[in-house]
């Protein structure tokens, strides 16, 4: 140590920075400092980006009609249907040779249709079955599937009506002689309706305990398959009926049969 | 020595921050490799189900049906306007090449594939009749294609090739059965109580009812329900084992046929 040095003068080789050293420090470490500042700015940008993306994706999952913005659209329940006009249709008015299968009718409107109840389609002649809306609401492009198809070589007129039954637009088209090979859309619905009508517990099956398993064998008829001997059928029947009731189904609507599964 | 760590730290930090998060996520995601042959528009290929391409079925007829499904999944383009998403379209040059190559990659020989292509070409039906929507194979055509590939026969006079609609099978053959693919298909009966198995042909309704359909039993779930492997035709042009509405098929609504 220099004997002439002031007792409070810092020792340079300890790297202690004093106000008088700052210019030298910045001069020596300018590259590192610049890079660290850039890194800091980039980190902040990425954090903001990630937060923004998370919010957008959360909105997307909560509503199928949410746009790319962070502002969620009102749901159908919150919207009031505004008067609307039909801008275009498919098939087009006066179109010929339209396929007589399970056609998808689509129409575009000037304002969003907020719910399926805002619009109805009346066919003349009437359909064998019915149409089902396949769009998500609200939408300006409404799509309805003709379940069971159309008659061949037939001129159909469709009236689009509002909620009050007022006819908003009427258009016509003529089907071709081509018929669909089958009607898969209607069949999907008929199968689903069969389960809902005659097998209301099917969605909870298979159901199984250590002692028995349950399954349908016919309309409203449940098979209780016993897994081992020595079980009390009355006790199990009461247990099963309580389980059926817990699913919101009246047990008296069903018949129960026991089967030995061992 | 003191300068190096600080510089390295800064550069490393910047490098990491400059890599897009999406790229990192992609790097860890499971990849799906599907041939894009015959997909000139370069649409994103659809992943075929692993169980389908893996050939897990022991029933040769069902396996054939699954393989054709895999081919349609790989070669279809989506979407089609006016279908429940995601509908597929098959009207583009190169479709047949794509289907043929996919089936060959699954182990089918040239003559089998040629018989399939012949049958497939006769089974396209306009989809929904909407402009630009293309064509697809409907339910009856699909079952005919499965028989052609499975039997290595494409005789145009075979029963399923000549019928207009699926329901015609029940109208004409629910008592006597029918000939197809060099086999006699025996009627097993209608509704609950028929002991069905994967590979049986299931037919609903009759011609003209607007409610007819045909498919192949893919899975027997329980005494009242099953899954079909079927072509949705005008619905969304897909061959599928899972229905868009989530429902299985009600066994009581179908009449069944089995190859002797």
Summarised one tens digit per residue, pLDDT across range B126-145 is: 554 443 345 678 899 899 99
- Burial bucket for residue A197 (CB in 10 Å: 0-12, 13-18, 19+): exposed
Q: Assign A174 a pLDDT band (cuts: 50, 70, 90).
A: very high
Is residue B107 over pLDDT 50? yes
A262 has a pLDDT exceeding 80? yes
Q: Is the ipTM of this complex over 0.90?
A: no
Q: How far is B227 from chain A (nearest CA, A)?
A: 11
List alpha helices for A12-132, DSSP H: 22-28, 30-62
Comparing CB atoms, the residue among B17, B164, B233 nearest residue A39 is: B17
With a cut of 60, say whether residue B235 has pLDDT above it. yes
Return the sign of the alpha-carbon dihedral for residues A135, A136, A142, A144: positive
Cα–Cα distance measured from residue B200 to residue A197, given in angstroms and rounded to the nearest whole number: 26
Indicate which of A46, A187, A199, A257 best probes the interface with B, i.e. most B CBs within 10 Å of its own CB: A187
Helix axes B95-105, B60-75, angle to 10 degrees: 140
Residue of B nearest to A197 (CA): B250
* Pair type for strands B183-190 and B225-231: unpaired
Q: Are strands A155-161 and A95-98 parallel, antiparallel or unpaired?
A: unpaired
Average pLDDT over residues A18-44: 68
Lowest mean pLDDT among B34-38, B105-109, B166-170, B219-223: B34-38
Tell me how many degrees the CA angle A38-A41-A43 measures, rounded to the nearest 5. 105
To the nearest whole Å, the CA of B110 is away from the closest chain A CA by 28
Question: Can you give the pLDDT at residue B46?
Answer: 29
Question: How far apart, in whole angstroms, are the C-alpha atoms of residue B213 and residue B204?
Answer: 5
Most confident of A37-41, A98-102, A135-139: A135-139
Residue A182 predicted with pLDDT over 90: no
Nearest to B10 among A32, A102, A145 (CB): A32
pTM of this prediction?
0.72
């Amino acid at each position: 140590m220099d004997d002439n040095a002031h007792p409070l003068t810092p020792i340079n080789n300890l790297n202690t920075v004093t106000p008088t050293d700052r210019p030298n420090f910045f001069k020596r470490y300018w590259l590192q400092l610049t890079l660290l500042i850039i890194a800091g700015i980039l980190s902040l940008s990425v954090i903001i980006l990630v937060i923004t993306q998370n919010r957008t994706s959360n909105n997307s999952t909560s509503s199928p009609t949410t746009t790319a913005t962070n502002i969620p659209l009102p749901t159908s329940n919150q919207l009031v249907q505004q008067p609307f006009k039909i801008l275009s249709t498919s098939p087009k008015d006066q179109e010929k040779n339209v396929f007589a299968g399970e056609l998808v009718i689509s129409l575009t409107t000037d304002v969003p249709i907020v719910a399926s109840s805002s619009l109805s389609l009346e066919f003349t002649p009437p359909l064998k079955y019915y149409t089902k809306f396949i769009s998500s609401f609200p939408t300006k492009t409404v799509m309805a599937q003709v379940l069971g198809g159309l008659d061949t070589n037939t001129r159909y007129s469709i009236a689009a009506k509002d909620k009050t039954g007022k006819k908003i637009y009427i258009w016509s088209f003529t089907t071709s002689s081509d018929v669909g090979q089958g009607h898969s859309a209607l069949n999907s619905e008929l199968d689903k309706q069969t389960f809902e009508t005659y097998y209301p517990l099917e969605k909870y099956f298979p159901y199984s305990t250590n002692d028995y398993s349950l399954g349908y064998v016919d309309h409203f008829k449940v098979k209780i398959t016993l897994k081992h001997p020595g079980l009390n059928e009355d006790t199990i029947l009461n247990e099963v009926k309580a389980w059926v009731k817990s699913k919101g189904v009246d047990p008296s609507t069903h018949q129960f049969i026991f089967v030995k599964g061992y | 020595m003191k300068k190096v760590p600080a510089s390295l730290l800064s550069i490393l930090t910047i490098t990491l921050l400059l890599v897009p998060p999406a790229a990192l996520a992609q790097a860890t995601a499971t990849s799906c490799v599907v041939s894009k042959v015959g997909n000139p528009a370069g649409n994103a290929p659809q992943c075929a189900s692993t169980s389908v391409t893996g050939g897990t079925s022991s029933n040769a007829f069902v396996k054939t049906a699954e393989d054709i499904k895999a081919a349609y999944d790989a070669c279809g383009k989506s979407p089609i306007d006016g279908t429940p998403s995601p509908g597929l379209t098959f009207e583009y040059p190169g479709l047949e090449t794509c289907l043929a190559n996919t089936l060959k990659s699954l182990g089918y020989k040239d003559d089998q594939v040629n018989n399939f292509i012949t049958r497939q070409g006769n089974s396209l039906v306009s989809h929904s009749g909407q402009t630009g929507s293309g064509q697809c194979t409907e339910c009856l055509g699909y079952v005919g294609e499965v028989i052609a590939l499975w039997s290595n026969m494409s005789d145009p006079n075979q029963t399923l090739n000549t019928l207009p609609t699926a329901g015609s099978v029940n109208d004409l053959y629910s008592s006597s059965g029918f000939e197809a693919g060099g086999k006699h298909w025996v009627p097993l009966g209608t509704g609950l109580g028929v002991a069905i198995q994967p590979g049986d042909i299931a037919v609903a309704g009759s011609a003209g009812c607007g409610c007819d359909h045909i498919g192949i039993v893919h899975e027997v779930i329980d005494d009242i329900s099953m899954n079909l492997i079927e072509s949705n035709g005008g619905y969304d042009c897909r061959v599928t084992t899972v229905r868009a509405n989530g429902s299985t098929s009600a066994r009581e609504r179908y009449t069944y046929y089995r190859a002797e």
